[in-house]
Amino acid sequence: MKVELVAGDIVRRKADLLVVNLFEGTVKPGGATGAVDAAVGGAISAAIADGDFKGEFGEALMLRPGKGIGAPRLMVIGLGKKEKFTADHSRQVMLTILRAAKKCKAKTVATVLHGVGEGGIDPVLCARFVALGGILSNYDYDLYKAEKAHRVSTLLVVENDRNRAALAAGGLKKGVLLGEAINWARDLVAAPPADMRPDALAKAAKTLAGGKVTVTVHGKKELEKMKAGGILAVGRGSEIPPRLIVAEYRGGKKGTPWIALVGKGVTFDTGGISLKKWEGMDRMKYDMAGGAGMLATLKAAAALGIPLNVVAVVPAVENMPSGTAFRPGDVLRTMSGKTVEVLSTDAEGRLILCDAITFARERYSPAEMIDAATLTGACVVALGSVAMGLMGSDANLVSKLRDASAASGEKAWELPLHEEYFEQIKSDIGELKNIGGGEAGTITAGYFLKEFAGETPWAHLDIAGVAWREKERMGYAAGPTGAPVRLLVEYLERASAGR
Ligand code: BES
Ligand code: ZN
Ligand code: ZN
């Protein structure tokens, strides 16, 4: 989809669908909405007066004015209460708009910026979120459909004020690049598990190489040399051996320290010998969402030219039961030298991440390290599909991630890593065990990883509840969301600005 910023009057803009907006409680529309209302003979104010349309958040009024504007269809989108409106709402309304556009097979959509002016959102920021929402909402995974989904080919973002339009163009471009990186991740995550085994994930990662990005894939032999006992054990049950994917983006000046992003890349999680029940097991094709997200964050950082050095480390494995699979009771010697007693082969994420964290620490001595993983079902119980879990060993890093979360609209909520939780993961036969018993499952998983992060400032994002959606919600279509790319790109942008 082409996304363009055009300075001028939306009334005369030629399109298949024209979109303006309204805050809840507005009686007499002003600005662009007022101008369009006048051009169509007061059809919008009449709908408001008759109570057909209130401007509630996400509410849509569809009109066929016949004449007066450059489009056959006119949509007024509700922005809800002015006091509650944030930049992320500008993204969310785009899903309603694009859904309507797809329904009427519109090729060209012209919209105003939702939230500038009356809404008080900065035009650069608003343009970024509108473009991002447009790109994300035009996405469909239709590889296996004979009839392909309709896609909008041009999104015109129309701004009357020339100065504002000039400013907004920069934000728009960034939103497009970010959205494209996220959709790239969504394609990987949505792929059926037979199409996305460790070799396929490595191949996809290699497409990122070029410019300032290099990608190295370590195979089984190298993992053996590195003594990656965790990754090797989890991967042992599959016909496709594990990989360790390492993508480097050198956007920083010489001597800039690394930021390490570690992502769980379990291409399918059957649970292994501790086999999961059949119901919902198909969802475990999403278990590489953290890995795809970290690669996509690096892709976005490169596309945006963020002046930092970023390394993404993704252990890719398929967790399968077989005659060669690892077992409950096994004791693994991890890359760090620490031994881990396996009590469930289904708590496999931490077993591969601990080696990836050690690898990142030893090879890159990163200034900061963040991991993302669909790590625990307990996180879905605790936070649902609204917020991801956030934990960390470094208060400053956690606080920066909280700020990035607020600014990006991708919600994250902190859980504590009190020392007392360590009790639950102490092993009798080795140093650690890979499950912490019934209580505080998200925290004990996080605590396990902390043991491998050592002195490196580290934070962990448990994205089990937010990596995909069962149903459309919060401006996300059903399927993979691309979390936590938006949060992390925001964090990187802030870090490059010294914040
Ligand atoms: N990939 C799962 C976690 C998961 C569950 C993600 C549901 C998304 C939705 C992980 O590998 C797992 O199986 N965790 C176990 C850990 C337990 C055995 C300690 C879990 O959460 O049940
Ligand atoms: Zn598992
Ligand atoms: Zn898993």
d(C-alpha 414, C-alpha 460), whole Å: 10
What mean pLDDT comes out for the span 35-58? 98
CA–centroid distance, residue 468 to ligand 3 (Å): 14
d(C-alpha 172, C-alpha 159), whole Å: 12
Q: State which H helix or E strand residue 167 sits in.
A: helix 162-190
What mean pLDDT comes out for the span 204-231? 98
The whole-chain average pLDDT of the chain stands at 98
Peptide bond connecting 257 to the previous residue in cis, omega within 30 degrees of 0: no
| Angstrom distances, CA of residue 425 to CA of 21, 57, 229, 281, 434 | 53, 45, 18, 26, 7
Domain-located, residue 181: no
**Residue 249 burial (CB count, 10 A):** 28
Residue 19 CA, chain-centre distance (Å), reads 27
Percent of the chain with pLDDT over 90: 99
Domain-located, residue 101: yes
List helix spans (H) across 305-376. Answer: 349-364
Contacts of 75 (CB under 8 A, 6+ apart): 17, 18, 19, 20, 60, 61, 62, 63, 97, 100
- Classify each residue of 138-153 as buried b or exposed e, where b means 16 or more C-beta atoms within 10 Å of its C-beta: bbbbeeeeeeeebebe
Q: Is 471 a catalytic residue?
A: no
pLDDT, residue 179, reads: 98
Residues forming beta bridges with residue 217, ordered by sequence position: 245
The torsion defined by the Cα of 100, 102, 103 and 105, in degrees rounded to 10, comes to 120
pLDDT digits (tens, 9 = 90+) for 290-310: 999 999 999 999 999 999 999
260 with 368, same domain: the answer is: yes
165 with 266, same domain: the answer is: no
CA–centroid distance, residue 375 to ligand 2 (Å): 8
211 with 145, same domain: the answer is: no
Q: Is the CB of 349 under 6 A from ligand 1?
A: yes
pLDDT, residue 81, reads: 97
> Closest ligand 1 atom, CA of 274?
18
CA–centroid distance, residue 267 to ligand 1 (Å): 14
- Sign of the dihedral through C-alpha 396, 398, 399, 404: positive
What mean pLDDT comes out for the span 141-145? 96
Among protein residues, the one with the nearest Cα to ligand 1's atom 11 is 347
Closest CA to 264 of 484, 498, 30: 484
CA–centroid distance, residue 247 to ligand 3 (Å): 22
pLDDT, residue 300, reads: 99
37 with 83, same domain: the answer is: yes
First vs last C-alpha separation in the chain? 33
266 with 411, same domain: the answer is: yes
Q: Are strands 258-263 and 368-373 parallel, antiparallel or unpaired?
A: parallel
- Sign of the dihedral through C-alpha 67, 71, 73, 77: negative
Query: What is the length of the chain?
Result: 499
Q: What's the token pair of residue 335?
A: 């890359």
Closest CA to 351 of 287, 243, 445: 445
Looking at the structure of the chain, the number of domains it has is 2
Q: State which H helix or E strand residue 402 sits in.
A: helix 395-408
CB under 5 Å of ion ligand 3: residues: 266, 269, 287, 349
What mean pLDDT comes out for the span 169-198? 98
pLDDT, residue 85, reads: 97
Q: What is the CATH number of the domain that holds 17?
A: 3.40.220.10
296 with 171, same domain: the answer is: no
Q: Is the CB of 346 under 6 A from ligand 1?
A: yes
Q: Is the CB of 317 under 6 A from ligand 1?
A: no
Q: What's the token pair of residue 85?
A: 């409106």
pLDDT, residue 389, reads: 99
What mean pLDDT comes out for the span 459-463? 99
239 with 142, same domain: the answer is: no
d(C-alpha 23, C-alpha 5), whole Å: 23
Of 142, 176, 210, the residue that ends a domain is: 176
Q: Is the CB of 138 under 6 A from ligand 1?
A: no
- What angle is formed at CA 399 by the lines to CA 394 and CA 402, rounded to 5 degrees? 130
Q: Is 350 a catalytic residue?
A: yes
Is the pTM higher than 0.85? The answer reads: yes
d(C-alpha 462, C-alpha 485), whole Å: 13
Q: Which residue has the tokens 């993979």?
A: 480
| Angstrom distances, CA of residue 231 to CA of 86, 152, 194 | 42, 42, 20
- Running DSSP on this structure, what letter comes out for residue 150? P
pLDDT digits (tens, 9 = 90+) for 90-131: 999 999 999 999 999 999 999 999 999 889 999 999 999 999
398 with 351, same domain: the answer is: yes
Which amino acid, one-letter code, is at 412?
A
pLDDT, residue 117, reads: 86
What residues make up the domain containing 265?
Answer: 191-496
148 with 198, same domain: the answer is: no
| pLDDT band of 132, cuts 50, 70, 90 | very high
Domain-located, residue 40: yes
- Sign of the dihedral through C-alpha 23, 24, 26, 29: positive
| pLDDT band of 428, cuts 50, 70, 90 | very high
Rg (CA), the chain: 24
pLDDT, residue 280, reads: 97
226 with 77, same domain: the answer is: no
Domain-located, residue 36: yes
CA–centroid distance, residue 204 to ligand 1 (Å): 25
Annotated catalytic residue within 276, 327, 333, 469:
276
250 with 144, same domain: the answer is: no
Closest CA to 388 of 308, 467, 455: 467
Q: Is the CB of 462 under 6 A from ligand 1?
A: no
pLDDT, residue 16, reads: 98
| pLDDT band of 86, cuts 50, 70, 90 | very high
Q: What is the CATH number of the domain that holds 201?
A: 3.40.630.10
